[in-house]
Amino acid sequence: METITIGLLGLGTVGQGVVTLLQKQAAKISRTQNFRFKLKRVAVRNLAHHQTAELPVGTILTDKITDVTDDPEIQIVVEAMGGVDVAKVAICQAILNKKSIISANKDLLATAGEEILQLAKTVGVDFFYEASVAGGIPILRVLSSSLETDQITQITGIINGTANYVLTAMEREQQAYVTALKNAQKLGYAELNPTNDVQGIDATYKLIILSRFAFGQSLALTDIPHQGITTISPAQLASANRLGLKIKLLAVAKEVNQQLFSFVGPAAIPATEPLAHVNGVQNAIAIQSNALGETTYTGPGAGAHPTANSILSDLLVTGNNIVKGICGHEFNRYRKPSAAQSLTTVPQQYLITIEDTKIEPSVLANLCQFTWQQQVTGEHYWSGLTPVISATTLTTLLDSLKHQGQQPHYVPLSNSWQMAS
């Protein structure tokens, strides 16, 4: 039986998950494949932090990345270190040394992916990154195989486990935002610096990768309007609940007339929709496509073992390609340029919440050029659902409320977007 030699960069939550799962599943892998994996070297930033790491007998721990990227025996490098600059240099070096790459690094793939993937193609090595989007959900492979023959029209995802965990804990357990975020960090869901998780940047990176597979379009971070969950208040979550809605951090890309509209941010979802029931670290991606209609894929979006399983599934594909001598095919071959548009500028409905308000209903009614679809008043808040209004009408209303000394918060109602056809 052939042995395929692996090198690992990074031994954080994901790296440790890979080490554990490789050992745990070794017997099954050698039963189902005609090769086995050997983890030869693991590179870490600080050796002292990993003295007690449980590595397979014979695996060498090093603090030199080049010990992995330049080792002629290593055939596949698993990059689980995160970050952009150092990871990019390491991956390019490994590719130039003819090693296939498996990576979970969405930041790198979203910002410099095209360039590195092109290098891998030119050199003729594999580059897979299933773990970079939605942790354990095998969504990229589904998009690049089962859905390749379908025409996708919309992707709506809950694709940041940390943000979903925080919003769920705030809503269900009345936890403060800070407490919920600390718990997500303790459980290993959040990034080392959770800014990207809570500000919607991590979800935006994942949407960039998803859009390449689903729509053939490579968006930049600046093409996608993105907001986080840092200002979502318990009153917004409570009032949404009373109106039969759930607030989630959504990532949306929708193709209409050769234009790709996108948005990442908190949005209200009717409780009757499957995405409204995706809680905690769970992720979900709802795909609308012409042949299949709507399909929804759910599963754990972060965590050591779910993410490591996605990496192991990539390892199996590459292992087979190495055995057959057919490495170098792109994970995603779809390219179809379309104009990037913002979903925030199209007419839609909004859930507006005003906290600690004493504003009279008649004054509020006078500020609006429309009739509220639904309204609810709580002990410390007032909330209303607008009909479909333009972005200009929304801005005028928010300005008028602020002029009255109020502090309005708003989230859009998902799927209320009205595009000109």
Residues at the site binding ligand HSE, with contacts judged by CB under 6 A: 135, 160-162, 189-191, 197, 202, 301-302
Q: How far apart are alpha carbons 44 and 120 in whole angstroms?
A: 24
Q: How many CB atoms lie within 10 A of CB 395?
A: 10
Beta partners for residue 283, in sequence order: 299
Under 8 Å between Cβ of 209 and 132: yes
Shortest Å distance, C-beta 190 to ligand HSE: 5
Burial label for 369, CB within 10 Å (0-12, 13-18, 19+), is: exposed
d(CA 283, CA 153): 20
Phi, psi of 324 (to 5 degrees): -85, -10
The residue from 40, 106, 206, 246 that is catalytic is 206
| Alpha helices (H) in 58-190, listed in sequence order | 65-69, 85-96, 106-123, 139-144, 161-172, 177-186
Least distance in angstroms from the C-beta of 112 to ligand HSE: 17
State in angstroms the smallest separation of the CB of 238 from ligand HSE.
24
- Give 123 or 210: the residue with its C-beta nearer to ligand HSE: 210
Question: What whole-number distance in Å separates Cα of residue 194 and Cα of residue 11?
Answer: 18
CB 299 within 8 A of CB 274: no
Alpha-carbon distance 297 to 290, whole Å? Answer: 17
- Smallest separation (angstroms) from ligand HSE to the CB of 127: 18
Considering the complex, state which of residue 162 and residue 357 has its C-beta at the smaller distance from ligand HSE: 162
Measured from the CB atom, the residue of 7 and 136 that comes closer to ligand HSE is 136
**Nearer to ligand HSE (CB atom), residue 199 or residue 357:** 199
Would you say 79 and 101 are in contact if contact means Cβ atoms under 8 Å apart?
yes
The CA-CA-CA angle for residues 91, 94, 100, to 5°, reads 90
Could you tell me the smallest distance in angstroms from the CB atom of residue 101 to ligand HSE? Answer: 18
The answer to whether 206 is a known catalytic residue is yes
| Of 153 and 230, CB closest to ligand HSE | 230
Rounded Cα gap, residues 222 and 110, in angstroms: 12
**In whole angstroms, what is the distance from residue 97 CA to residue 346 CA?**
48
Provide the 3-class DSSP secondary structure of residue 172. Answer: helix
Q: In this complex, which beta carbon is closest to ligand HSE, that of residue 104 or of residue 368?
A: 104
Q: Which residues form the catalytic set?
A: 206
